[in-house]
Chain A
Amino acid sequence: DVHLVESGGGLVQPGGSLRLSCAASGFTFRDYRMDWVRQAAGKGLEFVSRVNYDGSSIIYADSVKGRFTISRDNANNMLYLQMNSLRAEDTAIYYCVRVDVVVAARLFYYMDVWGQGTTVAVSS
């Protein structure tokens, strides 16, 4: 079975830092791009960041650019999100997501496996 298990969430003060981890199993981790997607309470889904197979290509949402850093360890099947300078608006459930792709005229990306999420609360 394919599994993604997040950890590292918690309560942190504004301006603080937190590092989220995601343990992947049941598939060849290095063959997939990976995302972090978040969801504030009662709100919709928001893309946070994506890393390609080997970490050489990374994209961020404008809302986290310069504050968050995504990385991966293919040897240990782990995905990370280092979150610095946290703000109240970063409060959300953070999901680790596997990204698959359909090769067409242009690449079609879709999120085919989701972890159960880890909760981040930024408050004084």
Chain B
Amino acid sequence: DIQMTQFPSSLSATIGDRVTITCRASQAISNYISWYQQRPGKAPNLLIYAAVNLQSGVPSRFSGSGSGTDYTLTISSLQPEDLATYYCHQSYSTPQGTFGQGTKLEI
């Protein structure tokens, strides 16, 4: 199955920073990637689907990009409520796909 490697596994940033999280697939996944935010003690929440599409209700400071094997989630100006762990998920290889291992964002 396709493996998803996220990096960094953790990072510390300051309010207002531009933050980038990358997910690398073990083979090309043709934009079949979504991104999720999980705040501490809460359920995951969909941010981005099909690599670049912002889910309804998600702040516009979040954006997605990428192609082939490398995909990026960007937060343009970090806010306190963005403290969370972020996961990527691919569903190119199989309907259920695979998750990345997560990136813990500390502020």
Please give the residue numbers on chain A whose beta carbons come within 8 Å of chain B beta carbons, in ascending order. 35, 44-47, 50, 59, 61, 95, 100, 102, 104-117
Given the known interface contacts A44-B87, A50-B95, A110-B49, the answer about A115 and B43 at a Cβ–Cβ threshold of 8 Å is yes
B66 contacts the other chain (Cβ, under 8 Å)? no
Bound Cα distance A115, B43 (Å): 7
Q: In the complex, are the beta carbons of A44 and B96 less than 8 A apart?
A: no
How many B residues, CB 8 Å from partner? 24
B3 contacts the other chain (Cβ, under 8 Å)? no
Q: Which residues of A contact B95 (CB under 8 A)?
A: 50, 59, 107, 109
Q: In the complex, are the beta carbons of A95 and B46 less than 8 A apart?
A: no
Q: In the complex, are the beta carbons of B50 and A102 less than 8 A apart?
A: yes
Q: Which residues of A contact B91 (CB under 8 A)?
A: 108-110
Q: In the complex, are the beta carbons of A111 and B36 less than 8 A apart?
A: yes
* Apart from A45-B89, A45-B99, A105-B30, 6 more pairs, CB < 8 Å: A50-B96, A59-B96, A95-B44, A110-B50, A111-B36, A114-B44
Q: Which residues of B contact A115 (CB under 8 A)?
A: 43
Beta-carbon nearest neighbor of A50 in chain B: B96
